[in-house]
Structure 1
Amino acid sequence: MLLHEIAEIVRSLKDPRLGFVTITGVETTPDLRTAHVYYSVLGSAEQHEACAAALEAAAGHVRGEVGHRVRLKYTPAIVFSPDYGIVEGAKISNLLRKIANKSGQL
């Protein structure tokens, strides 16, 4: 539920630094006071940094919107963290492709 709402809120933000950001997961602490929001960005290192800055700047707004949209005892503090799983997965796929190409050339 939080994943969907936070993704919708981030998508509605008008910050151009958030061009190709995807919310990939949300984990809350047991007391529901903090939500760790994981995201991935397609682009260069500069775009990753700009996106991280934009998300940090928008964290308070996102928290407020979550408070309006989701009924919880506490509105969790929002902490954005990059999700490197997609990047690492792409690296592994490239390595496997290279191995397959080399074995086909033997």
Structure 2
Amino acid sequence: MSKQRLQQVADTIQQILGSVIQNELKDPRVGFATVTGVQVSPDLQRATVRISVMGEEAEQSATMEALLRARGFLRRRVAEEMSHMRFVPELRLVQDTSLDYTMRINEVLREVEQERRANPPKLDQE
């Protein structure tokens, strides 16, 4: 299958899951979760779904646990929306921590900048 077709399938799955998670899941443990990406295997048997979850660590793990329990429902909704496909990939949900990492790097950079402003470098004058 062409890379373009795989990407189209992945993008469609991402849109469907994003909508279903935001609008259809009724589990109160599901907090603010965003589908940040989907990677589909070349044989369309598996799809790795990256999910970014906002909130404290306990809230994040509760949300991921609820989403893992809802995996069958999510796959069924993908199958309904993509009824033209012969196979619906098995969903592998993984937490995407890249946003947390980026936020932490920005925080450290701000701290360094504040420290530089408080203690400017002294230039040797001859």
TM-score range for the pair, normalised by the shorter chain length: over 0.9
Cα distance in 2 for partners of 1:10, 1:79 equals: 15
Cα offsets for 1:23-65 (capped at 9, x unmatched): 1111111111111111111111111111111011100010011
1:79 offset after TM fit, Å? 0.9
Q: Which structure is higher in helix share?
A: 1
Q: Which has the higher contact order (CA 8 A, sep 6+)?
A: 1
TM-score (ref. length: structure 2): 0.80
* 1:38 corresponding residue in structure 2: 50
* 2:63 corresponding residue in structure 1: 51
Cα distance in 1 for partners of 2:50, 2:66 equals: 14
Q: Please list every run of at least 4 consecutive aligned residues from structure 1 whose deviation after the TM superposition is greater than 6 angstroms.
A: none
Gaps of 5+ in 1: none
Cα distance in 1 for partners of 2:95, 2:117 equals: 36
The question of 1:92 aligning with 2:97 is answered: no
Contact 2:31/2:60, CA 8 A, preserved across alignment: no
Equivalences for 1:14-33 in 2 at 5 Å?
14-33=26-45
Letter in 2 for 1:75: V
Residue identity over aligned pairs, in percent, reads 29
Structure showing greater Rg: 2
Letter in 1 for 2:40: T
Letter in 2 for 1:19: G
Instruction: Report the number of matched residues.
Output: 106
1:73 offset after TM fit, Å? 2.3
**DSSP-derived class of the 1:17 partner:** coil
Say which of 11, 19, 33 aligns to 1:8: 19
